[in-house]
A and B are shown apart, each in its own frame.
Chain A
Amino acid sequence: MSAHIEAETVRPVRSWKLSENTRDRLISIASPILLLLVWEIAARTGLIDTRFFPAPSSIFETLVTLSSTGELWQHTAASLQRLFIGFLVGGIPALILGIIMGLSRPVRAVFDPLISATYPIPKSSILPLALLIFGLGEGSKIFMVAIGVFFPVAINATAGVREINKIYLDVGRNFKASRWDTFRTIALPGALPVIMTGIKLGVGMGLVLIAIAEMMGAKSGLGYMIWAAWETFSVEQMYVGLFVIAIIGFVLTLVLNEIEKRLVPWKR
């Protein structure tokens, strides 16, 4: 009897209530809008200095102008291309080296000290050296991104492989998996969750470094656009650059999360 009563009282309540997910999503959309609104009002009423904090509406105007002339897209495309190539150039060797380091003690013994010694160097401080070696062209920019991606991916790949329960490697041996099979069927998939974390870190690092690299001796890219804005005191353009970089970072995170979901379906 009581079960019956319960069922009837519970049902209407549930249909009125938003699910927690929907509620959280609404809040996370509403809060930036609210912030922009406050900012706009503060800028218009002169509460904040518009030389440093121009109203969002005027930033938006600049964004529309810059994108209608095609300038914004050209810079965005240049940065994205460098980011992508740098990601491959740094990420693929890092992945292979990292996994092999995880599997093989001698290889680890060779590379571990090298990586430990070079990892703490702030990547941005390598920029002058990169300019010296690769010149002002694409090479130095791609190199900077590659460096940023390399370390987190290599370090996480090694850690990921080493964290794989030894029993899985024993299973591989017992079922006569070849070296390549062990790499392909055990080391890589077993380490993938940790590797994905490394890739996310690496992409974030690459984004930071591409912006910095483009401020020095570049003629295109979002970093260049921001730097040029500083030189011409175009604060709005500066904000547009920052805004687009933020959007890129945000979208890349979403994309990588989606990729992770597909590549790692066995993790809840």
Chain B
Amino acid sequence: MNQALAKKTTVRDDVATESRERPAIRIKGLSKRFGSFTAVDNVTIDIARGEFFMIVGPSGCGKTTLLRILAGLEAPTDGSIDVSVEAGSQRPVNSMVFQGDSIFPWMTVWDNAAYGLKMRRAPQAQIKEVVGHYLDRTGLLKFADAYPHQLSGGMKQRVSIARAFANDPEILLMDEPFSALDAQNKLLLQEELLRIWEENKKTVLFITHDVDEAVKLGDRIMVMTAQPGRVKTVVPVSLPRPRDVLELQQNPEFGKLVHQIWSSLRDEVQRARELDEAKGVRK
């Protein structure tokens, strides 16, 4: 781990000097149409290296589609994405924490978490060290030999997060990783995620429906419009780090931000509902 940590410190130095010139992700005029249906429309945004970037928007507005394009799982119809990686970096560009249950039921917790490294044919010693580290950080070390069906929903979600982190990517794409959890587990996992993130400050794109969560975790929050998905506004969150997700709720600034995001989002959710009703689609 020492070596990895050392590497990460240099990354942090980079942020200060380079981030203004060279954003980690530069999205320009990105659109995605499925047939005649426009899911994502002309999204332009720069995301800085090491930034924790939140995406909120009504259901069906194209958040997942946007992330899937970034992950290379879907081709854009229009526009471009530039992902700049450190010169000489051997790390994978991105790893995704998928919306919903995505850990392999036929692999143990350990093998799930080691998946990315194994696919990259990483040396056995490195796999042991890195996977061990992240299973420890997510409190799963005791369950390393368990199969997913023996785990609770929250634990499965943590495996998914450990799998993405252990792959040590430049960018983490997280699609509603906590949405299926109860409030208590969610709070714990948010804390855990922030702690792990503080270790190495990876660039994170994080989708959520939970406005509190967006403000607690993010450096900036992008609100998207209902169909077609456009950038409505991007709100910077100037709350100091490291953050304590419990303490934060007492912070007046926190309340103001939640209110601001909510009121921006409310119109869109309302509009999405009207659109759905007009189409006779029940969400």
Contacts and interface: CB of A to CB of B under 8 A. Distances in A.
Interface in A143-194: 167-168, 170-178, 181, 185-186, 189-190, 192
A177 B72 CA distance: 13
A190 B106 contact: yes
Among A168, A171, A268, the one with the most B-chain Cβ atoms within 10 Å of its Cβ is: A171
A175 B167 contact: yes
A265 B147 contact: yes
Interface in B98-139: 98, 100-102, 104-107, 115-116, 119-120
* Secondary structure call for the B interface: loop
A103 to B, nearest CB: 16
Among A185, A189, A264, the one with the most B-chain Cβ atoms within 10 Å of its Cβ is: A185
Among A189, A266, A268, the one with the most B-chain Cβ atoms within 10 Å of its Cβ is: A266
Contacts of A265: 147
Interface residues of B, number: 24
B92 interface: yes
Interface string B80-102: 00000000000010111010111
B92 to A, nearest CB: 7
B104 A174 contact: no
Given A266-B147, A266-B148, A268-B149, A175 B95 contact: yes
B165 to A, nearest CB: 13
B156 to A, nearest CB: 13
Given A167-B100, A168-B104, A174 B149 contact: no
Contacts of B92: 175-176
Contacts of A171: 96, 98, 102, 104, 115
B234 interface: no
A268 B106 CA distance: 11
A170 B119 contact: no
Contacts of B148: 266
B119 A192 contact: no
* 7 tightest A-B CB contacts, nearest first: A189-B106, A266-B147, A175-B116, A266-B106, A174-B96, A167-B102, A177-B119
Given A177-B119, A185-B107, A189-B107, 16 more contacts: A170-B98, A171-B102, A172-B119, A173-B72, A174-B71, A174-B94, A175-B119, A175-B167, A176-B92, A176-B120, A181-B119, A185-B115, A189-B104, A190-B104, A266-B149, A268-B149
